[in-house]
Chain A
Amino acid sequence: MRRIGVFVCHCGSNIAATVDVKKVVEMALLEQGVVHAEDYPYMCSEAGQSHIAEAIREKQLDGIVVCSCSPRMHEATFRKCAEKNGLNPYLVEIANIREHCSWIHKDMQEATEKAVILMRAAVAKVHLNAPLKAGESAVTKRALVIGGGIAGIQTALDIADAGYHVDIVEKEPSIGGRMSQLDKTFPTLDCSACILTPKMVEAASHENITIHTWSEVEKVSGFVGNFTVDIRKKARYVNMDKCTGCGICQEKCPSKKPLNEFNRGLNNRSAIYTPFAQAIPNVPVIDAAACIKLKTGKCGICEKFCQAGAIDYAQTDEIITQQYGAIVVATGFDTIKLDKYGEYAYGESKDVITSLELERIMNAAGPTKGHLERLSDGKAPKEIVFIQCVGSRCSDDRGKPYCSKICCMYTAKHAMLIRDKYPDTNVTVFYIDVRTPGKNFDEFYRRAVEDYGVNYVKGQVGKVAPQSDGSLLVHGVDLLENKQILKKADMVVLATAIEPNSDVRKIATMLTASIDTNNFLTEAHPKLRPVESPTAGVFLSGVCQGPKDIPETVAQAGAAAVKVIGLLAKDKLKTNPCTAKADELRCNGCSQCAGVCPYGAISYETRQVNDHGIREDRRIAVVNSALCQGCGACTVTCPSGAMDLQGFSNRQIIAEVDAICR
């Protein structure tokens, strides 16, 4: 029989205000094997821990239950405390009576009853806990950054500067990401490319950074410190070593139909292309779907004109496999599709555009060479209406429930730039709220209103109706004046909500990193671990974690880099001893567990077993405990229950359930 001590924490009033802690102590003493129980205001404090230490010594405890907060908070604290006092740390169990109980209940009697049940379950489990010993695993001192936008670039630069090698994987032909598509940046109005391209160049020339563009992560296996990643380098059809970036191929290419993705499909590009002038690497790719040579075998014009002989139509996708210690996700965002917003006539009229499209129109390298003009007739717009929160802060399923955070500021920027460059153009902004928290942000917005005469109208737009004369009739409402507004506009700009890049789900699944209902990657803790994924060794940088602007993205990118550096600086990591183990007498050798193991930790051997006197050679599963991460997939697959997870055995879990149902 175990000698178990139960320690009930008040957590100030966090627990004690809702749970009768004295009652929990009293009930604990009635449990089998419990020889000590006490409550204390802050169990995690030095003094609280000394109570535990004293009880271990005086009552010879060999099992401890702490009824307190989530094990994610203080399990490590109490395990260390036990270890320091000569008890195996895995003989400590936490009953979460805060997050799972006091915080979510109001009625003291009910909450106390539940706290007692949770305590009982933990006591039942600790009876079956076995001492476990953590092993060690090595750390591969190389990081992978998925996404080559400003977030990925900054993270890579910071890690590389600390002396560790970083690979950036970017699915587009060039690094740069969304920021490379922007014209000016708020609140300083400096040119986006002018501040981004130096960082791109720095990343490209850094001795510790390898950039894989036109590449995608194909497969991830392993775990913190020891990831193995397959990267698909898509066929570029251009030899990167030979190409000089002269651009003659793009000039001569006869296939000029494909939509230019970089310009948001507002104009066309050639089948062989670099997305923009400052692209890194400055080596074009051939769009196989549009290339006449690759489709029909006839053409070959680019090859003929390429003096460097860099064109290689025979190139195929290449898979490179690389080991990493840490992975940073920096997959960024895209604007949402507007097909559910028929009322704004986007797609119906060429003069209804998204803000990102306006960004390209305003840019000197854009489809209109930077001239503000209507895409329908090329005329200069005299009345422009901006509509805010298109798909953001949306309560139905057409859009997103969250605030996209950047729209208020970039709309103020657009409005200001237009008023500055085209003073005879009127700008009206329909908004729900103007949100400008950020250094120099509100000042910026006020300049747009006060100095540049931008007309802000609090209210939403119900309809944009294209008129026969080519104009757009905007049906809006002014909530402050409480009146309907009908406004004729030449151009309507939609502040379209942003959402995580569509690839993020695939990547999150490969990394077993969790994502929320909006497909943003989840942090390990929303306040205290904002740049870490709950999956060890996976870190978050930029908008993949939540909407943010450039300064915030760069700050978070640096923070993620620091976490990576902290991990890579270690030579060894302690491994989790809660790994799977096969019972040789029950194992059928059926290989189902090996099939579901995401870490390749299970192999088979034929060995002689002695099954109650019968000796026979059997095929038995063997778990490599260095590779096993204790996910438990094998234990639920095993039909005979031969596979069990140490520290979370079937018996322990059944004992907990039985205690709860008692």
Chain B
Amino acid sequence: MQELMERAKELLASGEVARVLGWKKGENDWDVEPRFFESVDSLQDFVYDGFCGANLSKYMIEAGKKEGKTLVFLKPCDSYSYNQLLREHRVDREKAYIIGVGCKGKLSISKIPFDGIVSVQGASYPDVSENLTVQTLYGTQTVAYKDAMLERCHVCKGKEHVVYDELLGESTDTVDADRFAEVQRIEAMSPEEKFAFFQKELSKCIRCNACRNVCPACSCRKCVFDSTAFNSDQKANTTSFEEKMFHIIRAFHVAGRCTDCGECSRVCPQGIPLHLFNRKFIKDINNLYGAYQAGSDLETKAPLTNFTLDDAEPGVGRG
């Protein structure tokens, strides 16, 4: 962390960047939040540890509208989101100084199964094989770092950054699960079971819009759910059916563009596994059009917005 802060101060002091986009300490160890740091002094609140799961790429849309360059720290998986935004002309590469930071797996406070958590130690320089020490109101507990990791880290996309200006820090391989196992489990369900599953999960939705607001693919200037043009702005939160439609439409809108960064599930206050919708699309796209990872580069044509004569035509009974 110190290394990152020093480098940020250097770049800010030299005037090479006008601001730093990073993570700010919160009240609690786990309350880390994204933040623009405009001065060297303000960087004292900068933090980079196991709780810095937040993907900063989407904030670069706003950064692009500001004067001067913005230094941004991107973890390997975040860099896919940035690349996808670059591809969609939503961010200005010229106005970004990207430091690719190492990542050793990020934590989820909701995965630490204790009541009355006061502090979590061991999140700063974590190693997947180690334990976290958790101070609670009721005494000290330990939990394996691995068990407290975000779902997405168990199916990590890898240690490589796909876009950066410089790299700092090391990454660890944290993969220990099959990315599509849960999707396959749902696919195997009967239609009734599927309906019941999604009914159960989506009925928890409170339409706080956190998933949409954090999603780097949901970067429309005016979201269709906020737009008065379709008479849908006030519709989507009136019934449980329409709540489902919100998530399903959102999944369609980001299909083929979603990098599977997992932010939707990370921020959902109700713990809905929203990433499963996107991952189902990704799985289908991979099956129908060949393996594709959104954001991996700027050149590969995206399967859903590209047409070739030998495209699969699921559902088209022609000839």
- Which residues of A approach B to under 8 Å, CB–CB? 505-506, 509-510, 515-519, 583, 585-592, 595-596, 598, 604, 611, 616, 619, 637, 639-641, 650-651, 654
Provide the bound-state CA to CA distance between A516 and B307, in Å: 21
- Chain B residues near A619 (CB, 8 Å)? 89
Residues of B contacting A611 in the complex (Cβ-Cβ under 8 angstroms): 221
Q: Are B307 and A591 in contact (CB under 8 A)?
A: no
Nearest A residue to B226, CB-CB: A640
Q: A586-B221, A586-B222 are in contact. List 9 more A-B contacts (CB 8 A).
A: A517-B317, A585-B222, A588-B219, A591-B88, A591-B89, A640-B220, A650-B229, A650-B230, A651-B230
Is B307 a contact partner of A640 (Cβ separation < 8 A)?
A: no
Q: Does B223 contact A (CB under 8 A)?
A: yes
Interface of B is mostly: loop
Q: Are B88 and A518 in contact (CB under 8 A)?
A: no
Max count, chain B CB within 10 A of own CB: residue among A588, A616, A639: A639
Inter-chain contact A505/B221, CB cutoff 8 Å: no
Are A518 and B319 closer than 8 Å at their CB atoms? yes
Are the C-beta atoms of B221 and A585 separated by less than 8 Å?
Answer: yes
Query: Do A515 and B89 touch (CB < 8 A)?
Result: no
- B214-241 CB mask vs A (1 if < 8 Å, else 0) is 0000011111100101110000000000
Q: Is the CB of B221 within 8 A of A506?
A: no
Rounded to whole Å, the gap between the CB of B90 and the closest CB of chain A is 6
Give the residues in chain B near A654, CB-CB below 8 Å. Answer: 230-231
Cα separation A504 to B65 with both chains bound (whole Å): 51
Residues of A within 8 A of B305 (CB): 592, 595-596, 637
Which residues does chain B contribute within 8 Å of A586, judged by CB atoms? 220-222, 227, 229
* B188 CB-CB contact with A under 8 Å: no
Asked if B318 lies at the interface with its beta carbon under 8 angstroms from chain A, I say yes
Interface pair A519/B302, CB less than 8 Å apart: no
Cβ of B181 within 8 Å of any chain A Cβ, yes or no, is no
CB distance from A272 to the nearest CB of B (A): 31
Which residues does chain B contribute within 8 Å of A592, judged by CB atoms? 88, 305
| B253 interface residue (CB < 8 Å to A) | yes
Contact in complex: B319, A515 (CB < 8 Å): yes
Q: Is the CB of B90 within 8 A of A588?
A: yes
Assuming the A-B contacts A586-B222, A639-B220, are A651 and B229 also in contact, with contact meaning beta carbons closer than 8 angstroms in the complex? yes
Residues of A within 8 A of B309 (CB): 506, 509-510
Chain A residues contacting B88 (CB-CB under 8 Å) are 588, 590-592
**B306 on the interface (CB 8 Å rule)?**
yes
B17 to chain A minimum Cβ distance, whole angstroms, is 22
Among residues of B, the one whose C-beta sits closest to the C-beta of A520 is B319
Interface centre among A585, A587, A590, A604 (most CB of B within 10 A): A590
Q: Return B7 CB to nearest CB of chain A, in Å.
A: 31
Q: Which of B25-69 contact A (CB under 8 A)?
A: 65
Per-residue CB contact flags for chain B residues 297-315 toward chain A (1 = under 8 Å, else 0) read 0000110011101000000
A516 proximity list for chain B (CB < 8 A): 319
Nearest B residue (CB) for A658: B231
Question: Which listed residue (A595, A604, A640) contacts B221, Cβ 8 A?
Answer: A640
In the complex, the answer to whether A589 meets B307 with C-beta atoms within 8 Å is no
**Chain A hits for B223, CB < 8 A:** 640
A619–B88 alpha-carbon span in the complex (Å)? 11
> Which residues of chain A are within 8 angstroms of B221 by Cβ–Cβ distance?
585-588, 611, 640
**Nearest-CB residue, chain A, relative to B217:** A639
A-B contact pairs, 16 of them (CB 8 A): A506-B309, A518-B319, A583-B229, A586-B229, A588-B88, A589-B89, A590-B89, A591-B88, A611-B221, A616-B65, A619-B89, A639-B224, A639-B254, A640-B220, A640-B224, A651-B230
- Closest B-chain residue to A611, C-beta based? B221
Residue of B nearest to A509 (CB): B309
Give CA–CA (A589, B229) in the complex, Å: 19
Smallest Cβ-Cβ distance to A596: which chain B residue? B305
Q: Is the CB of A641 within 8 A of B224?
A: yes
